Structure 1
Amino acid sequence: MLADSPAFLWDAREAATRAASVAHGHESTEYLGDWVLQAAVERQLEILGEALKNLRSVDPDTAARIPDVHAIIATRNILVHAYARVDQRRVWEILTDDLPVLIPVLDGLLTEADKQ
């Protein structure tokens, strides 16, 4: 792992954790009806995708160890550049299905970085 990688991993993990926290205590119907929650989640997913995009640029080997890294970056691109096409139901699925799998992977990579 390269020297700059842990900072990007930390940013990604923090953004993923913050976004996932929205799912706790909220139902999908509440999320789908609340533009403030949606905006908060979208911002954290943008940060997540940007951090992983930067990681992929400086350390493609570490980035390749993150499941669906290309899809995460693509989601960021949609949120930033194609905001009118954002499907909030899919975003809810990311919160409830994808992030709980991603966060432990990021934690593991950060633990590995700490041991170097």
Structure 2
Amino acid sequence: MRSDLERIRDIQEAINNIEKYAIQGKAEFFANELIQSWILLQLQIIGEAARSMAAATHKQYPKIIWRDIIDFRNLLVHEYFRVDLKIIWQIIEQEIPILKKQINLILKEE
């Protein structure tokens, strides 16, 4: 069984994987189904890692929007037909950098 710290590292790795391809820009993201699929998979990994952590870990780091991350994972996995690529791109631009900073701070503490 993976520890919460390992799951936090999984989130960090998924963020790095998103950044590898998002750096190609918005136009490439919308044009390339492989990049879209790759990034959606990484977002699912982030959500699954968050879902699998103990509630105590979530309480320990309340600035992270754990519930939203988990709910979004559920949408990606179970209601994929509702996925809006414009919203995904907003998440990449706006939410991922914030989450990256928060995760890096946690890992610095450890």
| Category of TM-score, reference length = shorter chain | 0.7 to 0.9
Q: Which runs of 5+ in 1 are unaligned?
A: none
User: Is the Cα contact below 8 Å between 1:52 and 1:63 reproduced in 2?
Assistant: no
Query: What is the distance in 2 between the residues matched to 1:70 and 1:64?
Result: 10
Tell me the residue number matched to 1:18.
17
Higher relative contact order, chain-length normalized (CA < 8 Å, sep 6+): 1
TM-score by length of 1: 0.84
Percent of matched pairs sharing the same residue: 28
- Deviation at residue 59 of structure 1 after TM alignment: 2.8
Q: Deviations over 1:39-92 (max 9, x none)?
A: 0000000000000111244633235342x2211111111110001010011111
Query: What is the distance in 2 between the residues matched to 1:80 and 1:62?
Result: 27
1:59-98 map, 5 Å: 59-66=57-64, 68-98=65-95
User: Is the Cα contact below 8 Å between 1:4 and 1:58 reproduced in 2?
Assistant: no
Tell me the residue number matched to 1:49.
47
RMSD value, Cα:
1.8
User: Is the Cα contact below 8 Å between 2:4 and 2:54 reproduced in 1?
Assistant: no
User: Is the Cα contact below 8 Å between 1:20 and 1:100 reproduced in 2?
Assistant: no
TM superposition outliers: structure 1 runs of 4+ over 4 Å:
none
Tell me the residue number matched to 2:5.
6
- Deviation at residue 96 of structure 1 after TM alignment: 1.2
Residue identity in the other structure for 2:6: A
Query: What is the distance in 2 between the residues matched to 1:53 and 1:6?
Result: 13
